[in-house]
């Protein structure tokens, strides 16, 4: 599987990784560490077949955009899911970028513009006790914060690793 994702600035990534480390160190969940190379990100698109022309298209697209300020004030879960998410405030720049990226590569319907809900997965595959523990820790550790979406990456996701095929700065 492949995906086009947005990476955050170093400070924002560090804040999220610190939460991930505490979740692992307190034995709540090791979800983010199950695949080598997993980084905090927003997913814009996912697909099963790789088109090499996509590399140039992503580079062209990132030249049209500047880094996007992202503000996180919400966390939660999709209904009937076993995940815990950070949800950025919607912005026209973020949705415009998503629409451009989606148009580069037909993706699963989950990422179609009319269905896409921007989110950063903190943890997944949680049982109800883990879900409650993650939420409790997030309430204790996180205040609303802003960061920057500063890179677009094309990644390959395997059973054991996330492989970065291309990273472009916006």
Residue 19, phi then psi, degrees to nearest 5? -65, -45
At 27, is the secondary structure helix, strand, or coil?
A: coil
Beta-carbon contacts of residue 158 (< 8 Å; ≥ 6 apart): 35
Percent of the chain whose pLDDT exceeds 70: 98
pLDDT tens per residue across span 19-53: 999 999 999 999 999 999 999 999 999 988 888 89
Q: Give CA separation, 36 vs 130, 154, 159, in Å.
A: 22, 16, 10
Strands in 28-161 per DSSP E: 41-47, 68-76, 84-88, 120-123, 145-157
C-alpha distances (whole Å) from 108 to each of 1, 25, 114, 115 are: 11, 34, 12, 10
Summary mean pLDDT of the chain: 94
* H-helix or E-strand spanning residue 5: strand 2-8
Q: Where are the alpha helices (DSSP H) in the chain?
A: 10-25, 53-62, 92-104, 128-141
> How far apart are alpha carbons 9 and 93 in whole angstroms?
17
Beta-bridged to residue 152, according to DSSP, are 6, 168
Provide the whole-model pTM.
Answer: 0.93
Strands 41-47 and 162-169: unpaired
Query: For 102-149, what is each residue's pLDDT tens digit?
Result: 888 766 667 888 889 999 999 999 999 999 999 999 999 999 999 999
């Amino acid at each position: 599987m492949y995906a086009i994702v947005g990476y955050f600035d170093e400070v924002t990534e560090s804040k999220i990784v610190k939460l991930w480390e505490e979740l692992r160190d307190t034995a709540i969940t090791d979800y983010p560490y199950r695949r080598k190379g997993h980084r905090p990100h927003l997913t814009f698109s996912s697909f099963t077949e790789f088109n090499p022309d996509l590399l140039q298209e992503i580079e062209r697209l990132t030249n049209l955009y500047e880094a996007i300020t992202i503000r996180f004030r919400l966390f939660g879960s999709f209904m009937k899911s076993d995940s815990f998410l950070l949800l950025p405030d919607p912005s026209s720049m973020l949705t415009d970028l998503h629409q451009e990226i989606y148009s580069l590569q037909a993706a699963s319907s989950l990422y179609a513009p009319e269905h896409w809900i921007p989110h950063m997965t903190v943890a997944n595959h949680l049982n109800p006790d883990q879900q409650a523990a993650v939420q409790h820790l997030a309430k204790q550790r996180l205040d609303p914060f802003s960061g920057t979406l500063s890179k677009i990456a094309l990644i390959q996701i395997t059973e054991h690793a996330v492989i970065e095929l291309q990273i472009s700065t916006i």
